Amino acid sequence: MMVHIPQVLSAEQVSHCREVFARATWEDGRGTAGHQSARVKKNLQLPEGGPEARALGDLVLGGLEKSPLFISAVLPRRVFPPLFNRYEPHMAFGSHVDNAIRPLPGGAERLRTDVSATLFLSEPDSYDGGELVVEDTYGSHAVKLPAGDLIVYPASSLHHVTPITRGARLASFFWVQSMVRDVSQRALLFDLDMAIMRLNQEVPQSPSLVMLTGVYHNLLRQWSDP
């Protein structure tokens, strides 16, 4: 299930991110890749745990908390601290699947990566190439969103970033451990939640709203691992 979540960050917040990027020192992005992924990864990254990444990560997390669509689509239990990367001409990330388990910074805890997320921070007309391509049973889906918009998709998906031929692609990326591990169950809950929201707008006094809301929460109670 891929979901486009618009305007996680405002234009002013995106501009602030770019100002920080312009002053920052970037390092080889292969440092956070698994053994197989490192072979096909060529990009730059803000140092993980550095002051710039921590400050901008808090900004992203604040935007996620204010997004009902993100909460509905992902049902987050824990979010990996957002990371930030930069692709310049001739840089790309070949086909790979994200690691299933990632250690959380600063401790012994680990996070199961149920959902992968990319938050675009460059306007799409400022660079050529750099599409995020996600493959599923329905084919390949190329994604290139406005700055401030987020795409979420199953972390089990095979995906890649196409080579940059002009400009620079700036983005934040991170993973989420969901309260509902199974992607098909998350998709059903998301569809049901969207239907309840639409019904609440179209027929706000409908008794069916109470029944459907009860079904949603009973399914969540049955499937969740909070």
Mean pLDDT, range 198-222, rounded to an integer: 95
**pLDDT at position 142:** 97
Interstrand relation of 115-120 and 110-112 (parallel, antiparallel or unpaired):
unpaired
Mean pLDDT, range 112-126, rounded to an integer: 98
> Could you tell me which residue, 36 or 106, shows the higher pLDDT?
106
**pLDDT at position 190:** 98
**pLDDT at position 33:** 67
Look at residue 146 and tell me whether its pLDDT is greater than 90: yes
**pLDDT at position 99:** 93
35 pLDDT tier (thresholds 50, 70, 90): low
- Strand spans (E) along 62-109: 76-79, 83-87, 92-96, 101-103
**pLDDT at position 138:** 85
Mean pLDDT, range 92-120, rounded to an integer: 94
**pLDDT at position 165:** 98
Residue type, 202: E
52-81 pLDDT tens trace: 999 999 999 999 999 999 999 999 999 999
Helices (H) and strands (E) in the chain, counts: 6, 17
pTM of the model: 0.95
Q: Name which of 120-134, 169-183, 193-207 the model is least confident about.
A: 193-207
Look at residue 113 and tell me whether its pLDDT is greater than 70: yes
CATH code of the region 3-178: 2.60.120.620
Q: Where in the chain is the domain with CATH 2.60.120.620?
A: 3-178
> Could you tell me which residue, 88 or 226, shows the higher pLDDT?
88
Angle, alpha carbons 73-76-82 (nearest 5°): 105
8-20 pLDDT tens trace: 999 999 999 999 9
Interstrand relation of 76-79 and 139-143 (parallel, antiparallel or unpaired):
unpaired
Q: Where in the chain is the domain with CATH 4.10.860?
A: 183-223
Q: Which two tokens stand for residue 168?
A: 């620079």
CATH code of the region 183-223: 4.10.860
**pLDDT at position 176:** 98
Q: Name which of 88-92, 102-106, 176-180 the model is least confident about.
A: 102-106
**pLDDT at position 121:** 98
Contacts of 202 (CB under 8 A, 6+ apart): none
Most trustworthy range by pLDDT among 46-50, 108-112, 147-151, 202-206: 147-151
CA distance linking residue 91 with residue 208, whole number of Å = 52
